[in-house]
């Protein structure tokens, strides 16, 4: 595995480069599975012999091929030195193209690919985990089945219970009104009835007293 040394970090006492694990990985597949580690914010992949990573024979074209990978303010990008079309995730692109960890670069559709990976961020695993994660949302508290059933039961039993309480009260009021009306009617009849009188002895005819 060819690794580009990181000369920006040195041992403070000896001035020698510090060996660190390559944060970037370039994986070739389709013509033999190979992987190369790369350091830095810029590296090249090609077949001329002076690139940071040598392009496998299965990915080479008739013409010389040189790919440039660089990291800017918005992330990593790739381009071909001669601006030939590339295929990133089977999508045809020309010129400087943004890439992410896990993207596959090909020289032609269906050709052997070069996969760009970032080891430190593990973006590939994070993206796959996010893509395959099941999204679950809790139902709102107001729409829980238990709450709905309890409300429905209360609404169903409330009218019958209220009717059972009001029926005796209504019947009692009707009986009181009818009783009061009957008593009033009887009292009125007693006031309007004619008085019965009996004749006295003094009211006898005068003729009978003369005899």
What pLDDT digit, counting tens, does each position of 154-177 carry? 555 555 555 555 767 778 887 877
Residue 181 backbone phi and psi in degrees, to 5: -65, -40
Give the pLDDT score at 90: 92
DSSP code of residue 183: H
Residue 97: pLDDT band with limits 50, 70, 90? very high
User: What are the φ/ψ torsions at residue 105 (nearest 5 degrees)?
Assistant: -110, 130
User: What does the mean pLDDT of the chain come to?
Assistant: 69
CA 69 vs. chain centroid, Å, equals: 37
Q: Which residue has the higher pLDDT, 68 or 24?
A: 68
Contact assessment for residue 33 and residue 60, using Cβ atoms and an 8 Å cutoff? no
Alpha carbon distance 140, 162 (integer Å):
32
Q: What is the rounded distance in angstroms from the CA atom of residue 110 to the CA atom of residue 174?
A: 94
Is the pLDDT at 134 greater than 80, yes or no? Answer: no
pLDDT at 170: 79
Q: pTM for this structure?
A: 0.47
Main-chain phi, psi angles of 46, to 5 degrees? -170, -170
């Amino acid at each position: 595995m060819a690794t580009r040394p990181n000369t920006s970090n040195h041992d403070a006492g000896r001035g020698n480069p510090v060996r660190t694990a390559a944060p970037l990985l370039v994986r070739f597949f389709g013509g033999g599975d190979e992987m190369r580690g790369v350091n830095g914010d810029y590296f090249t992949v090609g077949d001329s012999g002076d690139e940071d990573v040598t392009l496998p024979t299965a990915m080479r074209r008739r013409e010389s091929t040189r790919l440039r990978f660089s990291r800017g303010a918005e992330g990593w990008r790739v381009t071909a030195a001669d601006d030939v079309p590339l295929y990133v995730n089977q999508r045809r692109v020309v010129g400087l193209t943004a890439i992410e960890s896990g993207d596959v670069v090909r020289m032609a559709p269906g050709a052997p690919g070069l996969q760009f990976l970032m080891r430190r961020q593990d973006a590939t695993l994070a993206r796959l985990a996010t893509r395959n994660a099941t999204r679950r949302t809790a139902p709102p508290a107001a729409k829980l089945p238990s709450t709905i059933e309890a409300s429905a039961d209360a609404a169903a039993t409330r009218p019958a219970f209220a009717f059972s309480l009001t029926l005796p009260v209504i019947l009692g009021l009707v009986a009181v009104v009818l009783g009061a009306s009957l008593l009033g009617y009887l009292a009125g009849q007693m006031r309007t009835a004619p008085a019965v009188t009996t004749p006295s002895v003094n009211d006898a005819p005068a003729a009978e007293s003369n005899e």
